[in-house]
Amino acid sequence: MLGDANETALRPYLLPGERLLWTGVPAQGVRFSRQDIVLIPFSLFWAGFALFWNVSVWRAGAPLDFTLFGLPFLAAGLYITVGRFAVDALLRRRLVYAVTSRRVLMLRRPPLASLKSFEIGYLPVLEFDEQRGGRGTIRFDIEEATNPWTNRGYNPWRPSSAARCFEGIAEPRRVYDLIVHETERWRREQYGEAPSARSFIG
């Protein structure tokens, strides 16, 4: 599916002769992962202990340097408890994904624009999993596919915009099949190879 706003954002990054075949965006709003079964209790314990420790120190009238020592731990606790969800949701609003005749693209729109891409014929990994509601994630990076702490597309300290995947997209199977088709087309053009089942790792 192509969208006018997505196409407009992506056009400046296309190579000469490169054609847009599909554009999409990740699922919006707060998203939870399987890792949150562990991370949420851990983050609540961390934040609760950090808050208790800081309040105790403040009430005791401890020296300033001792008081300041606990603030980074409190800030980290607040981030992994609440902040990471807000940051991740905010950054996902700026993400646009695309499949072209030559590459897969992951664009973060301004401010702080960035672009990640893989040549369609040289994908390190191509795998996907379907999730509830008909959405799913397609991964292009070995770490994303094999590291249990990043197989949702991010870890507690790294939001979605840093991941090399199409996270929570609609119709993931159709997009996956499109990428497979374009990869096989590219290989036939480059090497005269027939489509095969050994195209990808994973």
Q: Hey, where are the domains in the chain?
A: 4-28+97-191, 36-89
pLDDT in tens, 46-103: 888 888 888 888 888 878 777 788 888 888 888 888 778 887 788 888 899 999 999 9
Question: How is domain 4-28+97-191 classified at the CATH fold level?
Answer: PH-domain like (2.30.29)
Q: How far apart are CA 132 and CA 61, in angstroms?
A: 51
State both tokens at 129: 């999993």
Q: Render 104-129 in DSSP notation, one character per residue.
A: EEEEEPSSS-EEEEEETT--S--EEE
Instruction: Please list the ranges in the chain whose pLDDT falls under 70.
Output: 1-3, 32-34, 142-163, 193-202
Q: How far apart are CA 193 and CA 78, in angstroms?
A: 53
The pLDDT score that the predictor gives to residue 178 is 95
β partners of residue 139: 127, 165
